């Protein structure tokens, strides 16, 4: 109980400034996103690179994790695949009503002796269109972070436990596209704008323990920016019967644009309660957009592990429930997420983790 009180005290003390991180991976995702000090698999590449130094695998680990929030998974995946040609998405779905805001994210990669190489994809799409109409709007964006995670653990005289430090070096590719069409239900047009970008960024983190309480801190998106090559073209949409077609005008090259990311910071604490083995964890995030708090718990029951958590902050109110099944070299995880700000959306995380 003292460990739980200490964790809550740390979070209250730090509650002054933040922005909500994504829920990546079934462990931290099932615990409300509290991953800065609790994760020890490849998802540390997202939450805190120093946490990968606590990996329990002896040789290597492979992780595949996918999360999604959607009202219709097929339409969401189609919209994301058409980010650079949103007019085609409107035409392909002429007969359907489109009104959703969804996203996909996850992590894929491997960890070899505490060196991580991973890809973190993040994509979202927003659409609005009536059925049997070519008048509507589509907006989408995707970002793919190729991440190299490095770090080390060492002793410092004034710390009771080893200090682990880690860094992520990220190469980023990104795409965006949007269109708003006007006209009639059978003939409409609009200007498609789209861009392709590349960039770099860094994350740094640290993790140590005090009397059985793990405490971590991380700074994300340091010196991070993406420069886009932008273009536009007029798209003409027409429908004959139930078949809609798109005719695109000449491309126009637009000025390049650069997005500079504001750094974000997070502190987290976690501990495992004796006898029952219950792990409790909490994170507090700080960015220019506001603050977010993540609280979670994990209870092992032999081959089955149960998880629960909550995330709250500016524009954020989620409850998470998750489970993990452990096999000799394989774990399977799943999370269900209830979003108070979008009750119609379904939100899930599934992942597979192999280590040896």
| 170-201: pLDDT as tens digits | 999 999 999 999 999 999 999 999 999 999 99
Among 36, 43, 37, residue whose Cα is nearest residue 62:
43
In a domain, 354, yes or no: no
Q: Where are the beta strands (DSSP E) in the chain?
A: 60-70, 98-112, 115-129, 136-154, 163-180, 182-183, 187-210, 213-240, 243-248, 252-253, 257-260, 264-272, 279-287, 290-301, 304-313, 316-326, 330-339, 346-355
Say how many C-beta atoms besides its own lie within 10 A of residue 78's C-beta: 17
- Identify which of 272, 351, 337 has the alpha carbon closest to the alpha carbon of residue 46: 351
Q: How confident is the model at residue 158 (pLDDT cuts 50, 70, 90)?
A: confident
284 Cα distance to chain centroid: 16
Instruction: Indicate the number of domains in the chain.
Output: 1
Predicted model pTM: 0.90
Instruction: Say what the pLDDT of residue 9 is.
Output: 38
Structural domain includes residue 116: yes
Cα–Cα distance measured from residue 174 to residue 161, given in angstroms and rounded to the nearest whole number? 40
- Which region among 44-48, 114-118, 262-266, 311-315 has the lowest average model confidence (pLDDT)? 311-315
Residue 180 lies in a domain: yes
- pLDDT category, 304, cuts 50, 70, 90? very high
CATH code of the domain containing 269: 2.40.160.60
Domain presence at residue 356? no
Evaluate whether residue 355 is within a structural domain. no
For the record, the structure tokens of 127 come out as 């659409």
In a domain, 26, yes or no: yes
Print the domain residue range for 120.
2-349
83 falls within a domain: yes
Q: What confidence score (pLDDT) does residue 176 get? A: 96
Structure-token match 């006209």, residue found: 183
Whether 299 maps to a domain, the answer reads yes
Structure tokens at 338: 């209830």
Model pLDDT for residues 11-25, shown as the tens digit of each residue: 433 333 333 578 999
8 A C-beta contact, residue 32 and residue 311 = yes
- Structure tokens given for 253: 């090259």
């Amino acid at each position: 109980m003292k460990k739980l009180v200490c964790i809550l005290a740390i979070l209250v003390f730090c509650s002054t400034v933040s922005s909500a991180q994504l829920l990546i991976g079934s462990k931290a995702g099932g615990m409300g996103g509290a991953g800065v000090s609790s994760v020890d698999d490849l998802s540390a590449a997202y939450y805190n690179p120093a946490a990968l130094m606590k990996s329990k695998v002896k040789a290597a680990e492979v992780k595949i994790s996918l999360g999604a929030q959607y009202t219709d998974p097929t339409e969401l995946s189609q919209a994301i695949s058409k980010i650079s040609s949103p007019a085609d998405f409107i035409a392909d779905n002429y007969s359907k009503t489109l009104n959703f805001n969804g996203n996909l994210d996850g992590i894929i990669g491997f960890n070899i002796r505490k060196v991580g190489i991973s890809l973190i994809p993040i994509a979202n799409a927003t659409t609005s269109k009536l059925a049997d109409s070519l008048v509507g709007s589509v907006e989408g964006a995707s970002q793919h972070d190729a991440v190299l995670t490095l770090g080390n653990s060492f002793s410092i005289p004034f710390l009771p436990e080893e200090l682990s430090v880690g860094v992520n070096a990220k190469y980023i590719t990104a795409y965006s596209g949007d269109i708003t069409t006007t006209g009639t239900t059978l003939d409409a047009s609009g200007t498609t704008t789209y861009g392709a970008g590349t960039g770099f960024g860094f994350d740094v983190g640290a993790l140590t323990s005090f009397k059985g309480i793990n405490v971590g801190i991380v700074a994300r998106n340091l010196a991070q920016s993406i420069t886009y090559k932008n273009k536009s073209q007029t798209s003409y949409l027409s429908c004959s019967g139930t078949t809609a077609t798109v005719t695109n005008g000449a491309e126009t090259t637009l000025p390049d644009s650069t997005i500079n990311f504001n750094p974000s910071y997070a502190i987290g604490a976690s501990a495992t309660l004796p006898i029952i083995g219950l792990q409790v964890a909490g994170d507090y995030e700080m960015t220019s957009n506001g603050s977010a708090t993540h609280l979670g718990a994990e209870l092992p029951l032999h081959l089955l592990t149960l998880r629960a958590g909550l995330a709250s902050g500016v524009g954020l109110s989620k409850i998470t429930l998750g489970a993990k099944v452990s096999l000799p070299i394989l774990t399977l995880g799943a999370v269900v997420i209830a979003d108070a700000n979008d009750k119609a959306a379904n939100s899930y995380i599934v992942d597979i983790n192999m280590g040896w």
